[in-house]
Amino acid sequence: MTIRAGDVSTESVEALLAQDLRIPPYQRPYRWTPDLAVRLLQDLSDAAQATDGSASVTYVLGTVILHRQGDGTLDVVDGQQRVLTLRLILLALRTRLGNDHGDLATALSGAPDSPIGAAWTELASTVGTHGVESEQLAVFIREQCRVFQVVTDDLDEAFRIFDSQNHRGRPLLPHDLLKAHHLREMSGETEAKRVAVVEAWERRDQVDLDRLFSLYLFRIRRWSRGRRADTFEADDIGEFTGVSGDLTSSPRILARRLVHASAPVLGIGMDEAGLADLRRARFPIDEPVLPGSAFFEAVDAWTTDLEAVRSHAFDGLPGAEAFDGLAAGGLGPRPSRRRYRYITELYLAALLYAVSTVGEVDWSRTRDRLFRWAYGIRLDYERVGDPTIQRHAIAEDAPFPALRDAVSQRALAHIGRTGQVPGRTHDTELRTLLEEVSS
């Protein structure tokens, strides 16, 4: 059992905060605005006044989900914003009462531009102005405010509970778990480097990160092996957790490490195209991922290629500029032509994989062949959904298995042959474009 008897309980704030709590690295940084923090302070002050001094009245602050580590520490999976804000409120009350917490208060005051520093500044100036004595409010929060606490030693179980809660926060996605895993793999590196990695990751658009893994990388890895690639979930992160321990000395992984380590030296004097191919050799999409900081470098490399592919996927295609819905700017077709959404994602995944494996030599021919292969399916079906895309991606003539072992663009010679475009006649606009591409 991952949740034992007694691991679901109602705890006072004092008991909650007395535990060895830790904010795990996969959690997003503190995000509450000063207004939200002050709103919680106001709610607590109103509740304290409403009790009229009765010690039997409690105020429930929701659920906190904790993941028990082997050393006894408890990672906060859900509730970190409330937990940190409660600590700030209690610190502000202790400071107002003259208790000695000057160093921490000074440190927080010295970071007014950070979210947690801004929240502290507002709380410190507001506490004690809501008609409740500071000591009375502090006692009420510590002893009469309670949370429903759930503790589990299984991280997947913690996330399942987390996802089932009806709250406004963003659920943790598989790429959040990958960040946590590879940060742990960086345990031997400096704290400064780990902090830099986290800050760079958080600056990324999280929706784009989710799409990078779920719509492209995960699918490419599965489809290249002839397997379906359904929804990318927490159970699938093994595709990108990399190798560690005694596996790092295997010949295959040793070769990967040698390429990774020697690439900066090999790149001396190379032109831009050569450096791009060297980067792809360091971070192949379909090979085992090197753990730790190499993973974060790989994400940078994959993102660079995806952005380039998306920007040029329709350049030079005859008539594509006038074909509403195949605009290159953005992640897919315009809302007015959403019937091409799944096909566009399939096309971009194939193009990204081709660039990753055989490079950009003979780009226009590769692009034309993959475009015709992907969009041609629309002529056979009036509606194209994910099941159709899955079948098309692992069919015998699909480009993904061919690219897995490819050493040149010739591996795609059987894709998108020229000639009359087969299929029904329900989408004459697309048929015309495909025939122009084939000519």
Q: In what order do the strands lie in the sheet with 59-68?
A: 8-12, 145-152, 59-68, 74-78, 21-22
Q: Per mean pLDDT, which range of 21-35, 170-184, 350-364 is the poorest? A: 170-184
Torsion angle, alpha carbons of 261, 264, 270, 273, to 10 = 70
Q: Per mean pLDDT, which range of 6-10, 220-224, 323-327, 344-348 is the poorest? A: 323-327
Please identify which residue in the block is written with the tokens 């990160």.
209
pLDDT of residue 291 exceeding 80: yes
Helix (H) or strand (E) holding 151: strand 145-152
Domain boundaries defined on the chain: 8-172, 174-294, 313-439
Beta bridge partners of 78: 65
pLDDT of residue 330 exceeding 90: no
pLDDT attached to residue 240:
93
**How far is it, in rounded angstroms, from Cα 353 to Cα 429?**
28
pLDDT attached to residue 439:
64
pLDDT of residue 427 exceeding 90: no
Q: What is the mean pLDDT of residues 225-242?
A: 88
Beta bridge partners of 149: 9, 64
**How far is it, in rounded angstroms, from Cα 284 to Cα 97?**
59
Q: What is the mean pLDDT of residues 273-288?
A: 90
Q: What is the mean pLDDT of residues 394-421?
A: 77
pLDDT of residue 349 exceeding 90: yes
Please, are residues 366 and 412 in contact by the beta-carbon 8 Å criterion? yes
- Better-scored residue on pLDDT, 256 or 142: 142
pLDDT attached to residue 217:
97
Percent of the chain with pLDDT over 90: 21
Q: What is the mean pLDDT of residues 176-183?
A: 82
Q: Per mean pLDDT, which range of 1-5, 20-24, 88-92, 293-297 is the poorest? A: 1-5
Q: What is the mean pLDDT of residues 66-84?
A: 88
pLDDT attached to residue 274:
87
Please report how the helices 80-96 and 34-51 are oriented relative to each other, as an axis angle in degrees rounded to 10. 70
How many CB atoms are closer than 10 A to CB 334? 14
pLDDT attached to residue 306:
94
Helix extents (H) in 127-166: 134-139, 155-164
Q: Which of 105-114, 374-383, 385-394, 415-424 has the highest mean pLDDT?
A: 385-394
pLDDT of residue 288 exceeding 90: no
pLDDT band at 333, cuts 50/70/90?
very low
Helix (H) or strand (E) holding 77: strand 74-78
Beta bridge partners of 22: 75
pLDDT attached to residue 331:
33
CA nearest to 419, candidates 399, 396, 439, 390:
439
User: pLDDT, tens digit, for every residue of 20-62?
Assistant: 999 887 777 788 888 889 889 988 888 888 776 666 677 888 8
Q: What is the mean pLDDT of residues 161-170?
A: 52
pLDDT of residue 304 exceeding 90: yes
Please, are residues 58 and 145 in contact by the beta-carbon 8 Å criterion? yes
Q: What is the mean pLDDT of residues 173-196?
A: 80
What average pLDDT does the chain have?
80
Is residue 402 helix, strand or coil?
A: helix
**How far is it, in rounded angstroms, from Cα 339 to Cα 341?**
6
DSSP 8-state secondary structure symbol assigned to residue 289: P
User: pLDDT, tens digit, for every residue of 83-103?
Assistant: 999 999 999 888 887 765 566
Helix (H) or strand (E) holding 10: strand 8-12
Torsion angle, alpha carbons of 326, 427, 434, 225, to 10 = 80
Please, are residues 351 and 219 in contact by the beta-carbon 8 Å criterion? no
pTM of the model: 0.66
